[in-house]
Structure 1
Amino acid sequence: MRTVIAGGHGQIAQRLEQLLTARGDAAVGLIRDPEQAGDLRTTGAEPVVCDLESAPVGEVARHLEGADAAVFAAGAGPGSGVERKETVDRDAAVLFADAAERAGVRRFLVVSAMGVATEPPAGTDPVFAAYLRAKGQADDDVRARASLEWTVLRPGRLTDAPGSGYVHLAEQTGRADIARDDVAAVLLALLDEPGTAGRTLELVGGETPVADAVAACARG
């Protein structure tokens, strides 16, 4: 299995790359900065320099050719302003989905966020509000594509705690923390479970083993 991951240098992406390569899969991480290539190689992944804020769709599609799945895990990150929330968290996700369609890659996962389905409350920090809107608009775009077997994953507050392997995964979970390790483990399980296509799922820490939680969602 070959999986291409947008935002390949991010913490969740690198954890997913490690899980994929550890079981013998091919993982390709799209990165913006060539200096990040060494970090990806240590996970066993293949680094590909591709700036999703400027690359044409045909270039991105070439990187996706022959892939079995695509995972959008990119984000503008802390310290970025409103403009980059739109160009990365929204526009790059749409571009990546366009490229997946062009390359014939059907399985498509999106790492989104909680709270993006509604307008941010009054008084929300303007940059964070822009982030939520951008993520929500990207989710809506992807979910409208009949040619993609998409799953949108909306984790709770991310932590660097060691993964427990136990989660709560459902259409609605309520807000709580989730370790990045566990997000990556759930993404891996989602890649293996086509029955979760067409689902938008929230994820927080819980009491159900990852494999069982994903299987339960696949059953509906």
Structure 2
Amino acid sequence: MHLAVSGASGATGRLVVEQALAAGHRVTALVREPRRYHAPAGVDVVAAEVVADPDLELPPGVDAVVSTLGKRTAKDPVPVCADGTAHLLAAMRRHDVRRIVTVSASPVLRTGHGEPWWFRRAVRPYVHRVGRGIYADLEAMEATLRAASPAVRWTVLRPGYLTDRPATGYRLVPEANAVGSVQRADLAAALLQVVADPATVGHAYGLAAGRRARRPARRPAGAAPAGAER
């Protein structure tokens, strides 16, 4: 499969590129500054202003897009995910590409389905206040994807806190959230799993760590909110 990876220079995007290569996929990395991106051998690198360029182009022969776009901070006023995804979808239409998988975040599921009641009442409102700029952008992105159905075959993954610890394995939780941190390496593996699975089209999944979940009351050291890629 030929995958175009948006946000390839970010922490999650780099892992997607590496794992996709290891799995035998052809990979094109879409990056803003190719000279600063140290691509693994075998990766095609394309300069692309995904967030800013409505006339974005994809390389020929792409089968699917994997997007790890996200705001760097909640104070970033640019709708990185919403605008970037809209531009990717427009480019996909021009190149007759129908498949896209994207990274969102668990707070976007406002019902909190799958979370314990105490988490929904005590933790989730605080998370929404602190990261409201991030989650509003992700909500707009998900709305854009849904509006593009059925012409676009999308899947969304909603991890919680992302850390850079070694992979532990993961579980996909359909249309619900999973409480606890998730390793970026597992998120990358999950993105590659769902992009090749037609049964995941039109669905959003929470992402749970494969081992016993850690207590979510405090953010682990070195953790970052989901979507913090660009």
In 1, distance between residues paired with 2:41 and 2:17?
Answer: 6
Q: 1:124 aligns with which of 118, 123, 129?
A: 129
Q: Which has the higher helix share?
A: 1
What residue is the counterpart of 1:53 in the other structure? 51
Q: 1:204 aligns with which of 208, 211, 216?
A: 208
**Counterpart AA for 1:178:** V
Question: Any conservation in 2 of the 1:64–1:105 contact (CA below 8 Å)?
Answer: no
What residue is the counterpart of 2:220 in the other structure? none
Segments of 5+ residues of structure 2 without an aligned counterpart are 112-123, 213-230
Query: Quick check: 1:139 aligned with 2:131?
Result: no
In 1, distance between residues paired with 2:146 and 2:87?
Answer: 14
Question: Any conservation in 2 of the 1:18–1:44 contact (CA below 8 Å)?
Answer: no
In 1, distance between residues paired with 2:9 and 2:157?
Answer: 19
Equivalent pairs, count: 198
Question: Any conservation in 1 of the 2:106–2:177 contact (CA below 8 Å)?
Answer: no
SS at match of 2:45: strand
SS at match of 1:5: strand
Q: Deviations over 1:176-218 (max 9, x none)?
A: 110000001111111221111011111121359xxxxxxxxxx
In 1, distance between residues paired with 2:160 and 2:107?
Answer: 9
Q: 1:166 aligns with which of 162, 165, 170?
A: 170
What residue is the counterpart of 1:217 in the other structure? none
In 1, distance between residues paired with 2:59 and 2:67?
Answer: 12
Q: 2:68 aligns with which of 70, 73, 93?
A: 73
Query: Shift of residue 82 of structure 1?
Result: 3.6
In 1, distance between residues paired with 2:89 and 2:180?
Answer: 29
SS at match of 2:50: coil
Structure 2 vs 1, CA of residues 197 and 64 (structure 1 numbering), >3 Å: closer, same or farther? Answer: farther
Segments of 5+ residues of structure 1 without an aligned counterpart are 209-220
Query: Shift of residue 43 of structure 1?
Result: 5.8
**Counterpart AA for 1:108:** I
What residue is the counterpart of 2:26 in the other structure? 26
In 2, distance between residues paired with 1:166 and 1:155?
Answer: 10
SS at match of 2:108: coil
In 1, distance between residues paired with 2:143 and 2:133?
Answer: 15
**Counterpart AA for 1:164:** T
SS at match of 1:174: coil
TM-score (norm 2): 0.78
In 2, distance between residues paired with 1:89 and 1:205?
Answer: 24
TM-score (norm 1): 0.81
Q: 1:99 aligns with which of 91, 99, 102?
A: 91
Q: Deviations over 1:147-199 (max 9, x none)?
A: 11110111111010100123353321332110000001111111221111011
